[in-house]
Amino acid sequence: MPLIYSVKVDYSMIIENLAEFASKKFGQNFLKSDVYLHKIIQAMPNDELKVVEIGPGLGDLTKELVKLRNVTAFEVDKRLCEHLNTQFEKPIIDGNFQLRCGDVLEHWDRNSLIDEPYHLVANLPYYIATRIILKAFKDELCQSILVMVQKEVAIKFSALPKEKEFSALSVLASSIGKAKLCFEVGPEAFVPPPNVTSAVLLIEKTKSMNDEKFEAFLKIAFAQPRKKLSKNLVTSFPKDIIEQTFTKLDLDTNLRPHEATTLIYHHIYNELKDYLDGQQQSKRKKLSKSRAKNS
Ligand code: SAM
């Protein structure tokens, strides 16, 4: 059902004053370039699956998506929800477009975004872009992720081993599929222009992964990216166990975090994950002891 608000807003005025209308809090930089909108559409996987869009904004990308697919969109800004409900009245009535008003992350914590396989396509709000992508990695219904993000974020997800940008995010992305930076987009393509260069990132998933412990392990491994990997690991695991693991896996102790492959990270993790369990248990014990003491 479209939402009905009592106060009607003249959106032609808003579009004239878009820079003023845009909310920084919600990361609003509207993509106002037909060239890039069409490049995003061309980069979409070639099948019939439904599309989920996060942050449709004024609906420029949505308009193109609705021509091709059934779309469900999540928008947090009530002013934009009102506009979208009017602009997309026909596809809403026809059942080709569903608009959910509210914070997508809150919705995702309670339910899946939709209840069938889908592709995520979005010009993401940059302040939560990484969190959204990591959520999509865990969502089994999400088959691929095609998103505009800050260029640095796109590089971190798509870097390859030995490249200096290879990071915990690259390991996670290559653990669930294949990531590629499709193309860069300059600030001038947006209103208002962001302070950074953007890029469109495509991650084609072959599986999902919901392993918080592996993420915690990677945080330790990449804590100081320019240090040796073994040095990062000894901050959280016994030194002799790290030495044994490196010997067992025939790894150079001088290896830097960006030089190990995704497979190596999974092997090291398999050797160390029991210690991570132990650590988490002792952290929990310490916490409950200090809580008992303070109560
Ligand atoms: N898709 C539009 C475009 O390309 O012009 C707008 C993109 S703008 C970068 C990000 C959009 O995400 C805004 O419409 C903003 O209101 C919305 N947004 C921000 N935080 C959100 C959240 N937590 N849940 C849903 N939408 C959100």
Q: Report pLDDT digits (tens) over 151-210.
A: 999 999 999 999 999 999 999 999 999 999 999 999 999 999 999 999 999 999 999 999
Instruction: Give, for ligand 1, the residue of 39, 123, 128 to mutate: max count of ligand atoms closer than 8 Å to Cβ.
Output: 123
What's the confidence (pLDDT) of residue 5?
Answer: 46
**Residue closest to 236 by CA, chosen among 275, 269, 267, 268:** 275
Cβ–ligand 1 distance for 125 under 6 Å, the answer yes
Contact 218, 45 (CB under 8 A): no
Within the chain, what is the greatest distance between any pair of CA atoms? 69
Rounded CA gap, 135 and 113, in Å? 11
Minimum mean pLDDT range among 41-45, 85-89, 191-195, 286-290: 286-290
Q: pLDDT confidence of 279, banded at 50, 70, 90? A: low
Mean pLDDT of all residues in 221-237: 97
Looking at the structure, give the CATH architecture of the domain made up of residues 212-294: Orthogonal Bundle (1.10)
Q: Which residues have a Cβ under 8 Å from the Cβ of 246 and sit 6 or more positions away?
A: 230, 252, 253
Q: Report pLDDT digits (tens) over 109-166.
A: 999 999 999 999 999 999 999 999 999 999 999 999 999 999 999 999 999 999 999 9
Rounded CA gap, 58 and 138, in Å? 28
Mean pLDDT, the chain, integer: 92
Q: Is the pTM of this model over 0.85?
A: yes
Residue 1 has pLDDT above 90, yes or no: no
Instruction: Give, for ligand 1, the residue of 75, 127, 130, 146 to mutate: max count of ligand atoms closer than 8 Å to Cβ.
Output: 75
Question: Please, where in the chain does CATH 1.10.8.100 lie?
Answer: 212-294
What's the confidence (pLDDT) of residue 281?
Answer: 61
What's the confidence (pLDDT) of residue 276?
Answer: 80
Rounded CA gap, 151 and 135, in Å? 19
Q: pLDDT confidence of 295, banded at 50, 70, 90? A: low
What's the confidence (pLDDT) of residue 6?
Answer: 44
Question: Please, where in the chain does CATH 3.40.50.150 lie?
Answer: 11-205
Rounded CA gap, 180 and 171, in Å? 13
Cβ–ligand 1 distance for 105 under 6 Å, the answer yes
Q: Given strand 142-150, what is the order of strands in its sheet?
A: 97-101, 71-75, 50-54, 118-123, 142-150, 198-205, 177-185
What's the confidence (pLDDT) of residue 2?
Answer: 46
Residue range 11-205 in CATH 3.40.50.150: yes
Per the model's pLDDT, the better-predicted residue between 237 and 15 turns out to be: 237
Ligand 1 center to residue 234 CA distance, Å? 41
